[in-house]
Copies of this chain bind each other. A is one copy, B any other.
């Protein structure tokens, strides 16, 4: 239930790019690497994936670089996640490709996964890059926030630590 680190980095990088004249100016990977604190090769890889997904337009050669292909308000978090990690699919069931789940027709759980998957994707699609780069977090009315029993479960398996993440500035 965690996004990959690359997705996290991509959000930070795109948010930084959105603050540069709303994506109108042309940026290069070196500049953004210095600004965000991410390693340059990592930024380059992100640029590759985001360009392949159509979220940014890149130009090669001297003085080249890239810029957002759309205004930040028209880019959703769901698109960023899908650009880096592929289609949003909580389980193998909801992916369109064929899977060898025995007695797929009789599975009573499978139909529900599509609903849950759509709900999760909707939560991500409600967040735009523009709101992500704004200084104050505005709780959108369309996003349901349900954190009722968050302090009940006292960290079932606290052995799941991953401290080795890259230091980043944003």
Q: Give A126-138 as 1s and 0s: 1 = Cβ < 8 Å from B's Cβ atoms.
A: 1100011111110
Please state if A161 and B111 are interface contacts (CB–CB under 8 Å).
no
- Which of A52, A119, A149 lies at the interface centre, i.e. has the most chain B CB atoms within 10 A of its CB? A119
Chain A interface residue number, banded: 35 or more
Which residue of chain B has its CB nearest to the CB of A114?
B137
Residues of B within 8 A of A111 (CB): 136-137
**Contact assessment for A37 and B102 in the assembled complex, using a CB-CB cutoff below 8 Å:** yes
Interface hits, A65-89 → B, CB 8 Å: 77, 79, 81-83, 85-89
* Chain A contacts to B: CB under 8 angstroms: 1-3, 7-8, 11-12, 15, 37, 49, 52-54, 77, 79, 81-83, 85-93, 97, 99-103, 106-112, 114-116, 118-127, 131-137, 139-140, 142-150, 153, 155-158, 160-163, 165, 167-170
Q: What are 16 A-B pairs with beta-carbon distances under 8 A?
A: A1-B120, A11-B109, A53-B153, A53-B156, A82-B153, A86-B157, A99-B163, A101-B165, A107-B170, A109-B132, A112-B137, A115-B127, A120-B123, A121-B147, A122-B123, A123-B123
